[in-house]
């Protein structure tokens, strides 16, 4: 197997691993936080919450791994964009790590809440909502970082024809939609999943293409 094909497959696997890890991790955490009076449930289910957090951290590691893996190929065509892609994915990963640690605060808060006899004291609810909102906002910020620079990434893919241009165009549309969705969420408007889905689908279609077909062999 040539080096480009091997690199493409590694990057494809990392893309899918990142997506799966985040979906599973966030799903575990949200299954606890979305129940009524969630503070009564976080501490008793701390193992599930911690596993969810660890899966989200795996996502962050995979995100950085994607950029590092793709760097040698992208560098051949545009070193500036290649370096920027690494830098922005590292920033994305750091923001996601900050958000992933929020459940640790909720575990401690839940324990205190239960030991206090589940009082009506508003400060428990206030701190809990701050932690949940912090996780939500860090995710949206990470999507802004991802969406913004991935436009340059997809532009480079389109220009170089490393993958079919139709997929590159879908990526441009997907990341532009993702960026718009995150910005709207930050400003208090909820577009739902309509704008989020195109970018999410690209991050499934693109890695599958990389695993099956790899990058087109061409010279810059």
- Whole-angstrom distance between the N-terminal and C-terminal Cα of the chain? 21
> What is the spatial distance between Cα 23 and Cα 15, in angstroms, rounded to a whole number?
12
Domain ranges of the chain: 3-212
List the one residue out of 68, 64, 71 whose CA is nearest residue 92.
Answer: 64
The span from the CA of 186 to the CA of 137, in Å, is 7
Looking at residue 121, what is its pLDDT?
A: 66
Q: Can you give the pLDDT of all 220 residues of the chain as single tens digits? A: 477 889 999 999 999 999 999 999 999 999 999 888 899 999 999 999 999 999 999 999 999 999 999 999 999 999 999 999 999 999 999 999 999 988 889 999 999 888 888 777 678 888 889 999 999 999 999 999 999 999 999 999 999 999 999 999 999 999 999 999 999 999 988 887 788 889 889 999 999 999 999 998 764 4
Neighbouring CB atoms inside 10 A of 11's CB total 23
- What rounded mean pLDDT belongs to the chain? 91
């Amino acid at each position: 197997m040539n080096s480009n094909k091997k690199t493409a497959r590694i990057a494809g696997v990392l893309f899918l691993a990142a997506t799966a890890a985040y979906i599973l991790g966030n799903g575990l955490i949200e299954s606890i936080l979305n129940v009524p009076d969630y503070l009564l449930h976080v501490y008793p289910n701390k193992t599930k919450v911690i596993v969810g957090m660890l899966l989200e951290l795996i996502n962050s590691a995979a995100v950085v791994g994607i950029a590092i893996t793709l760097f040698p190929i992208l560098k051949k065509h545009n070193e500036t964009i290649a370096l920027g892609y690494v830098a922005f994915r590292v920033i994305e990963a750091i923001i996601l790590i900050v958000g992933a640690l929020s459940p640790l605060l909720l575990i401690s808060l839940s324990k205190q809440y239960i030991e206090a006899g589940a009082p009506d004291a508003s400060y428990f609810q206030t701190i809990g909502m701050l932690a949940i909102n912090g996780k939500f906002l860090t995710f949206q910020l990470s999507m802004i970082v991802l969406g913004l620079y991935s436009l340059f990434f997809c532009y480079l893919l389109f220009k170089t024809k490393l993958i079919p241009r139709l997929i590159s165009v879908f990526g441009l549309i997907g990341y532009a939609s993702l960026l718009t969705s995150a910005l709207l969420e930050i400003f208090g408007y909820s577009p739902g999943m309509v704008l989020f889905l195109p970018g999410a689908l690209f991050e499934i279609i693109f890695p599958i293409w990389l695993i099956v077909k790899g990058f087109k062999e061409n010279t810059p």
